[in-house]
Amino acid sequence: MTNPTTDAAKKDRVIIFDTTLRDGEQCPGASMTFEEKLEVAELLDNMGVDVIEAGFPIASVGDFESVSEIARRTKRAVVAGLARAIAGDIDRAGEAVRHAQRGRIHTFVSTSPIHLAHQMRKSEEEVLEIIAATVARARNLVEDVEWSAMDATRTPIEYLCRCVETAIKAGASTINLPDTVGYATPDEYRNMFQTIRERVPNADKAIFSVHCHDDLGLAVANSLAGVEGGARQIECTINGLGERAGNAALEEIVMAIKTRGDVLPYETGIETTMLTRASKLVSAVTSFPVQYNKAIVGRNAFAHESGIHQDGMLKNASTYEIMTPESVGVTKTSLVMGKHSGRHAFREKLKALGYNLGENALEDAFRRFKDLADRKKHVYDEDIEALVDEEILTAHDRVKLVSLSIIAGTRGPQRATMKLDVGGEIRTQEAEGNGPVDATFNAIKALVPHEATLELYQVHAVTEGTDAQAEVSVRLAMNGSSVTGRGADPDTLVASARAYLAALNKLLVRGERLHAHAAE
């Protein structure tokens, strides 16, 4: 069996290191539940990602548990846990990836003068000692150690060379040189890798890695330039999710390499037909919408609107299309079954859309599909995806919507009557509000009292037409952290209630976890 994490330099095979579950999840409001993280990790593994950075085990009990469980379940990919240059972090990361078939500790320390002076308050010599000690400690726990120089692109090259040499000597087999603040240009980033690889005497003992943030919109260009400079691992995230402006987008990097093999003579192990599914899943679990004109996975990425373009496309698709929609998993929007379709057809449809549901989840999704088909004339693939994503994500929810009726219109106050199932107990409430959405949310607050505040309320239509399903995103904040929930339904108010409850359920789970930990 070939091992891309060690053979990459020889074959120009580029290692794809996905950090959606770590750097991506650090993005405010993008936090995922335990189950959501497992689902994303499974998809990344099936899609051919080489390394999954599953989290930051010391950050919280929840992070530790999800990294451990992903480590246990992942079949092909290396599973990495992040650690600062602190003994406790490294030991915790080692414990979290202990059960992985292939586990990695990824430890980092800042190297730039700005970080050393203002954040670390350490001298260059002290940081070199820290690198040697922490990498060696990690190497005692696992064979596969990655070391990162945080803020590498603002670090003087002579000092960066000494840091890299020290890390490799201490046992790091991957050296990551991040553009932490998204400051570099492609030429600078390419040159940095070339120089380091020329000057560091033991550089041939490690694989070099790029990790770029998108503050100036250069993350993908910089990542590819770094590969031209000799790096053979790319750290990236689905949909470019990540701190501030985000990280380099995995789907853009992979498709640039695939489409421009003439100037980028590299290969990845990614099954590109799964990119759209991955994008939708990450968008669903984080409730971060994908920009319509986003490269590769935006809903307009393959839409040709102008007359000239449409004319060209009809004559020959290559006139305006540099890659096919099918190559990234976009299937033609097709009319799915109607209300007479049976379970078998529904199951086949789900398989074609990339879902693999257990019997109970399938039964629930089928019931909701029938209900939707009764209310909506045409049911499209996108409708099924919205419905199933919601079904998967809310399967374990403690608070569920049973029914909702609303009195709305020009004469207020608007009024909501809501029935909820709260852990098996049915509760009913009537509430007024300044508009029907406000009345709906007030009813939830009365039925399940909580302190959370609403940070975001967003609606968009899943497909076209006035009977389209509304997809609503709600972000709630409590005790300094925020979560997002999503709900879909042809009735915008029902979708709003579902989205609010999805977010509230996440907060409840988080609260229970913290409570359990405090009691330990």
Residue 505 makes contact with ligand KIV by CB under 6 A: no
**Binding to ligand KIV (CB under 6 A): which residues in 421-460?**
none
What residue has token string 């070339």?
Answer: 194
The answer to whether 99 is a known ligand-binding residue is no
**Cβ nearer to Zn ion, comparing 177 with 509:** 177
CB-CB contact of 87 with 115 (8 Å) = no
* Shortest Cβ 118–Zn ion spacing (Å): 19
CB 82 within 8 A of CB 22: yes
Residue 214 interacting partner from Zn ion, ligand KIV, none (CB closer than 5 to 8 Å by kind): none
Nearest CA to 501 out of 462, 478, 472, 480 is that of 472
Which tokens in the block code for residue 242?
């990540």
Nearer to ligand KIV, 74 or 180 (CB): 180
- Annotated ligand binding at 23? The verdict is yes
For the segment 94-123, give every residue that binds ligand KIV (CB under 6 A): 108
SS (H, E, C) 61-123: HHHHHHHHHHHHHCCCCEEEEEEECCHHHHHHHHHHCCCCCCEEEEEEEECCHHHHHHHHCCC
- Can residue 155 be called a binding residue for ligand KIV (CB under 6 A)? no
Q: Is the omega angle on the peptide bond into residue 449 within 30 degrees of 0, that is, cis? A: no
Which residue in this structure is represented by tokens 């990234």?
328
# chain residues binding ligand KIV, by CB under 6 A: 9
Q: In this complex, which beta carbon is closest to ligand KIV, that of residue 109 or of residue 504?
A: 109
Nearer to ligand KIV, 89 or 390 (CB): 89
User: Is 23 one of the binding residues for ligand KIV (CB under 6 A)?
Assistant: yes
Q: Does 23 bind Zn ion (CB under 5 A)?
A: yes
Question: Cα-flanking dihedrals φ and ψ of residue 500, to 5°?
Answer: -60, -45
d(CA 242, CA 29): 11
Q: Which stretch binds ligand KIV (CB under 6 A): 176-184, 318-326, 336-344, 426-434?
A: 176-184
Among Zn ion, ligand KIV, none, partner that 45 touches (CB below 5 to 8 angstroms by kind): none
Residue 311 counted as an annotated binding residue: no
For residue 181, the minimal CB distance to ligand KIV (Å) is: 8
- Considering only 178, 186, 229, 246, the residue that binds ligand KIV (CB under 6 A) is 178
Q: How far is CA 383 from CA 13, 229, 343, 405, 426, in A?
A: 38, 44, 17, 23, 29
Choices 23-31, 76-84, 151-159, 276-284; region in contact with Zn ion by CB under 5 A: 23-31
- Of these, 155, 180, 286, 469, which contacts ligand KIV (CB under 6 A)? 180
Q: Which does 279 bind (CB under 5 to 8 A by kind): Zn ion, ligand KIV, none?
A: none
Q: How far is the CB of 243 from Zn ion (least distance, A)?
A: 6
Binds 150, which of ligand KIV, Zn ion, none (CB < 5 to 8 A, cut-off by type)? Answer: ligand KIV
CA distance 472 to 497: 9
Pairing label, strands 103-110, 144-150: parallel
Q: Which partner, ligand KIV, Zn ion, none, binds residue 148 by CB below 5 to 8 Å per kind?
A: ligand KIV
Do residues 201 and 9 touch, judged by C-beta distance below 8 A?
no
By beta-carbon proximity to Zn ion, the closer residue of 20 and 442 is 20
Name the one range near ligand KIV by CB under 6 A: 175-183, 394-402, 412-420, 501-509.
Answer: 175-183
Token pair belonging to 212: 């770029």
Quote the least distance from Cβ 212 to ligand KIV, whole Å. Answer: 8
Between CA 283 and CA 238 the distance in angstroms is 9
Task: Write out the DSSP string of 218-265.
Answer: -HHHHHHHHHHTT--EEEEBGGG--STT-B-BHHHHHHHHHHTTTT--
Q: Angle at Cα 467 formed by Cα 465 and Cα 468, nearest 5°?
A: 70
CB 85 within 8 A of CB 131: yes
The answer to the question of residue 150 lying near ligand KIV (CB under 6 A) is yes
> 208 is in the binding site of which of Zn ion, ligand KIV, none (Cβ under 5 to 8 A by kind)?
none
Query: Between 110 and 414, whose beta carbon lies closer to ligand KIV?
Result: 110
Contact positions vs ligand KIV (CB under 6 A): 23, 108, 148, 150, 176, 178, 180, 211, 213
Contact positions vs Zn ion (CB under 5 A): 23
Q: Which residues are annotated as a binding site for Mn(2+)?
A: 23, 211, 213, 247
